[in-house]
Each structure stands twice: as structure tokens, then as C-alpha cells.
């Protein structure tokens, strides 16, 4: 009886330590940037050079001009977490994710940035 109890507690502790993962279906697919704002003003960066693909298996690819990355992704409520292969996990806030439009908010170096994308 004690063994079963210890196994159950251990399993529960392990599961509760796993990061939540909603894997929002609204993010699945290919996305292209339309607008990049800094403090709600045009950033001067060409958002049309930004591409993302979020796959059902929890992997993603991204491109900005000639820069490419890939890794894993997960969501937790209104947060998108990406982990580029070999790097640390980062988080952006999902402002809109309705399957057609995707807006997320980043805070890089103290500046509030919003990237808007549309489904390809």
C-alpha cells in the first residue's frame, strides 16, 4: 500500500513540474508578417520578411530576411514560448490568435514591440 502511494505521489510531482502546454490550434500553420510596431508606432523594419510555421508536433521554423531558426513551441493561456534549438526558452504575449490573424507582443531591451502576422 505504501509503495503504491509513493509511486502515485512521485508521478503527480513529475507531472506537476512539466510546463503547461495548450498547443493552441489557432497558431498551427504558416504565417507572414504584415506590421511591426515599436511603442505602437511603425518600426521601420520590413515585417513582410517575417515568416513563422507552427507545426502540430510542437516544432516551429522562423525566418526574418536571411536569418533562420527552428525549435519547439508551446502555449500557456495567452503566452507563446519558443525554444530555438540550442538556446533558452523565450516568451511573447499573444494579443490575438484567431486562426487568421496572429499578433504578439515582445519586450526586447525595454522596448515594447508588436508583430502582426496573417495566415498564409
Q: What is the pLDDT of residues 39-88, one digit of tens each?
A: 999 999 999 999 999 999 999 999 999 999 999 999 999 999 999 999 99
User: Which set of grid coordinates corresponds to residue 19?
Assistant: 510546463
Instruction: For the chain, give the percent of residues with pLDDT over 90.
Output: 73
> What residue ranges do the domains of the chain occupy?
21-119
| Element of type H or E holding 11 | helix 2-17
Closest CA to 51 of 107, 102, 95: 102
pLDDT class for 6, splitting at 50, 70, 90?
very low
Task: State yes or no: pLDDT of 16 exceeds 50.
Answer: no
* CATH class of the domain defined by 21-119: mainly beta
Amino acid at each position: 500500500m505504501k509503495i503504491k502511494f509513493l509511486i502515485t505521489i512521485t508521478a503527480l510531482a513529475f507531472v506537476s513540474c512539466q510546463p503547461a502546454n495548450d498547443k493552441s490550434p489557432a497558431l498551427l500553420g504558416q504565417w507572414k508578417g504584415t506590421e511591426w510596431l515599436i511603442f505602437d508606432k511603425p518600426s521601420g523594419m520590413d515585417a513582410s520578411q517575417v515568416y513563422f510555421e507552427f507545426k502540430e508536433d510542437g516544432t516551429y521554423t522562423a525566418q526574418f530576411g536571411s536569418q533562420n531558426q527552428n525549435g519547439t513551441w508551446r502555449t500557456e493561456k495567452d503566452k507563446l514560448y519558443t525554444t530555438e534549438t540550442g538556446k533558452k526558452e523565450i516568451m511573447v504575449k499573444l494579443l490575438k490568435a484567431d486562426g487568421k490573424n496572429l499578433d504578439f507582443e515582445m519586450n526586447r531591451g525595454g522596448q515594447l514591440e508588436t508583430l502582426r502576422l496573417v495566415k498564409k
